[in-house]
Amino acid sequence: MIKIYHNPRCKKSREGLAILEESGKDFEIIKYLDEVPSKEELKSILNKLKISPIELVRTQEKIWKENFKGRSLSDSELIDALHEYPKLIERPIVVNAYKAAIGRPPEQIKGIF
């Protein structure tokens, strides 16, 4: 089952959701600000994306700038931060079995179905 980690207030996330809706594929919407991914789930997503935790961080967010900017954090500490402050998670993320994509730009989502 395809999953989209979605923030309804984000334009790119809404565009990604529209691509999934147009695809005709079955999918599950996870509003990750309400249903915060576990640390294990974040690790799994990172593995499927084939990126390091820092690449999933929205470094322009106020939370990042006030609490983490300029600090040297381990991957484990970054995952902790993403879990504690899910607003820092780049969006949208679409996961399909063993693959995942960040929808920036949203068209990248098409590459995983």
Percent of the chain with pLDDT strictly greater than 90 = 98
Locate 66 and state its tokens.
């006030």
Q: Any catalytic annotation for residue 10?
A: yes
Task: Sort residue 33 into left (φ over 0), alpha (ψ -120 to 50) or beta.
Answer: alpha
Q: What is the pLDDT of residue 113?
A: 85
Listed by start position, the domains of the chain span 2-112
- CA–CA dist 58, 66 (Å, integer): 13
Q: What is the pLDDT of residue 101?
A: 97
- Does pTM surpass 0.85? yes
Q: What integer is the mean pLDDT of 35-42?
A: 98
pLDDT tens profile 39-87: 999 999 999 999 999 999 999 999 999 999 999 999 999 999 999 999 9
- CA–CA dist 5, 95 (Å, integer): 8
H or E element in which residue 96 lies: strand 93-96
The dihedrals phi and psi of 31, each to the nearest 5 degrees, come to: -80, 90
The answer to whether the CB of 103 falls within 8 A of the CB of 13 is yes
Write down the residue that tokens 């695809």 correspond to: 23
Q: What is the pLDDT of residue 5?
A: 98
Average pLDDT, the chain: 96
- CATH class name, domain 2-112: alpha beta
Q: What integer is the mean pLDDT of 6-22?
A: 96
List the catalytic residue out of 1, 5, 8, 10. Answer: 10
